């Protein structure tokens, strides 16, 4: 029998219908994966084609070459040169498309993906996230920094070379604002972070834990919205992604890679998105929100 | 240059980037449309195959045969026999999957679609919506009735025979609750319905009106989330779909068919969803919400 389940943090209801459960081979995946070459001469993210991207804003070297490059997103709808001034016209409010959009090129090798990369290389990718978070957080005009990764066509990738994206905006999307407001109410009512409470509950239930390490836990939430929805959450209460320490990043690399390897090897490399849930930059340190990364199959949302 | 625009009703921000605008032939559409036969012997919704569906709960006759049939959805995750009791287990809340899911078979002819059907036949479809709304609204256990139509594979259709769907649930999705809360705040602040205010604003601007009739207006909102997003709104303030009168339905049939015909003939039959935005059944008559139907291309959401 099916049931509605409510996410206690957001109060969102989902329908869970075991009789309609997908088999592992039915998850959203755009056709068969073709073997990819280690180098594609037309790929702007491949080693040797660095001139095809805008100049890098950050890089991490590895083995005498670059390991991770961060470059501005050429095709972004946001532009760092516009002005974030609010303009009201009649009933309507607008702001120029000011913002920063960057691409994190995760490896020089075209055929890799995080699930197949060595843990130290995954760590470099996460260190690039962290460094860019801190750099972008210095700009007072930017209110929110979001990091995400689209894997596969159904997940919205346009380039197959492994990469993630960072977006920093002067506005906070209403869905995040609602998520935070609900967490605030819980904190007001209970004097506790609702996400800390969920974390403890899942540790005690054990059944939905995917992997747990010293600093992080990965679990499938009670009210998943999509197949293999997974939350990767720091044990330590921290409202924004940027509060994760370099030491904790070592541990996150292990956990993230293991979650992605389970998808890659265990259920045949389905398409996925992952995205950070992080409070706005100026809400760093608040008691009511807890940053985490959510991975899911795009089919279910 | 791109800009963020805020929907004044929901406070949702969207990015509008004219430099990234799609051409009409780039809207989400699952491949080329193949010509369809008027009758498909394997289609459970075709004339002559009535025994392949559960018994009808409602029908409207036309030309000595049925014109519209409403049948229970065989593949629903909701079941009318379960109990809508809330159960709390540890931190988590759940409810059995009680609810009603129905399919409105819009015509006996396989190859039609609302855009190509005669206005009186479209009117019959809308009258079936209205009649089922009133019938389902009598069940106190059902809090919300939503009517929607998915056209094309990218929009989520699994059967190509023209049909829409009705879902009645004992829960109110959090997104609708947030939408209503935002409208309540506007009503508290201004003593006006925010949707009535938008309607007047769009009438005075004129630029975004698609078509207007005696009782309805169809326009593209200022902060569209997806290509050709269109709101079809009654002039008369009414919080739920079921408050539309049979007389007004005549007029809605004209307007809806014209909007869909513009998509079908004007931009080559793209995939679309439409869905009613209607307050919960027991909020019929409230000042703060205004029912409307939203059509959009699935690609943009």
Q: Write out A55-108 in H/E/C secondary structure.
A: CCCEEEEECCEEEEEEEECCCCCCECCCCCCEEEECCEEEEECECEEEEEECCC
**pLDDT value at position B301?**
38
Q: What sign does the CA torsion over A170, A173, A178, A183 have?
A: negative
Chain B CA closest to residue A21: B77
Check pLDDT > 80 for residue B176.
yes
Interchain CB contact of A207 with B (< 8 Å): no
Q: Note the helical H segments in chain B.
A: 119-137, 174-190, 194-205, 246-261
Please answer yes or no on whether A1 and B82 come within 8 Å at the CB atom: yes
CA B65 to chain A, closest CA, distance in angstroms equals 35
Buried b (16+ CB within 10 A) or exposed e, A252-269: bbbbbbbbbbbbbeebeb
Compute the distance between CA of residue B152 and CA of residue B158 in angstroms, rounded to an integer. 8
Q: What stretch of H or E contains B216? A: strand B216-219
> What is the mean pLDDT of the segment spanning B195-206?
98
DSSP readout, B61-80?
Answer: EETTEEEEEEEE-TT-S-BT
Q: Would you call A208 exposed, middle or buried from its count of C-beta atoms within 10 A (0-12, 13-18, 19+)?
A: middle
Q: Contact B104/B125 with Cβ under 8 angstroms?
A: yes
Chain B contact set for A95 (CB, 8 A)? 3-4
This prediction's pTM: 0.92
Question: For residue B105, what pLDDT band results from cuts at 50, 70 and 90?
Answer: very high
Nearest residue on chain B to A6, judged by CA atoms?
B93
Q: What is the ipTM of this complex?
A: 0.88
Q: Is the pLDDT of residue B140 over 70?
A: yes
- Residue B252 DSSP one-character state: H
pLDDT band (50, 70, 90) for residue B82: confident
pLDDT tens digit string along B202-243? Answer: 999 999 999 999 999 999 999 999 989 999 999 999 999 999
Q: What is the mean pLDDT of each run of 10 residues along chain A (301 residues)?
A: 93 88 72 84 97 97 96 91 90 95 97 96 98 97 97 88 97 96 97 98 98 98 94 98 98 98 92 97 97 88 38
Chain B residues 80-99 with a CB less than 8 Å from chain A: 82, 90-97
Closest chain A CA to residue B196? A91
Question: Which pLDDT tens digit goes with each residue over B31-80?
Answer: 567 789 999 999 999 999 999 999 999 999 999 999 999 999 988 889 89
Contact (CB<8Å) A15/B174: no
pLDDT at B30: 57
Q: Contacts for B88-92 with beta carbons within 8 Å, 24 or more apart?
A: B90/A201, B90/A205, B91/A8, B91/A197, B91/A198, B91/A201, B91/A222, B92/A5, B92/A6, B92/A8, B92/A201, B92/A222, B92/A223
Only one residue has tokens 């205004």, namely B290
pLDDT for the residue numbered B32: 67
Confidence label for B10 from pLDDT (cuts 50, 70 and 90): very high
Output b/e per residue, A80-97; b: 16+ Cβ within 10 A.
eebebeeeeeebbbbbbb
How close is the nearest chain A Cα to the Cα of B6, in Å?
6
d(CA A232, CA A240): 13
Predicted confidence at residue B58, as pLDDT, reads: 98
Mean pLDDT of B142-169: 94
**Between β-strands A209-212 and A216-219, what pairing exists: parallel, antiparallel or unpaired?**
antiparallel
């Amino acid at each position: 029998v099916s049931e509605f389940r409510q996410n206690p943090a957001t109060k969102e209801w989902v329908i869970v219908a075991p009789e309609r459960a997908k088999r592992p081979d039915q998850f959203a995946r755009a056709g068969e994966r073709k073997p990819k070459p280690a180098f594609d001469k037309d790929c702007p993210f491949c080693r040797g084609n660095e001139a095809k991207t805008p100049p890098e804003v950050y890089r991490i070297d590895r083995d005498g070459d670059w390991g991770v490059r961060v470059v501005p997103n050429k095709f972004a709808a946001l532009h760092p040169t516009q002005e974030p001034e609010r303009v009201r016209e009649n009933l309507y409010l607008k702001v120029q498309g000011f913002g920063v959009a960057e691409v994190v090129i995760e490896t020089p090798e075209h055929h890799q993906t995080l699930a197949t990369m060595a843990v130290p290389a995954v760590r470099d990718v996460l260190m690039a996230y962290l460094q860019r978070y801190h750099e972008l957080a210095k700009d007072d005009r930017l209110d929110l920094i979001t990091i995400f990764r689209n894997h596969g066509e159904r997940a919205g990738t346009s380039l197959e070379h492994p990469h993630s994206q960072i977006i920093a905006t002067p506005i906070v999307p209403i869905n995040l604002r609602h998520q935070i407001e609900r967490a605030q109410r819980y904190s007001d009512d209970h004097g506790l972070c609702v996400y800390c409470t969920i974390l403890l509950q899942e540790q005690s239930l054990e059944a939905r834990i995917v992997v747990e390490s010293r600093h992080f836990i990965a679990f499938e939430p009670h009210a998943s919205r999509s197949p293999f929805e997974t939350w990767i959450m720091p044990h330590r209460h921290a409202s924004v992604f940027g509060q994760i320490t370099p030491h904790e990043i070592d541990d996150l690399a292990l956990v993230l890679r293991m979650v992605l390897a389970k998808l890659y090897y265990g259920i045949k490399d389905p398409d996925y998105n992952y995205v950070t849930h992080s409070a706005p930059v100026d809400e760093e340190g608040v008691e009511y929100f807890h940053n985490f990364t959510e991975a899911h199959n795009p089919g279910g949302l």
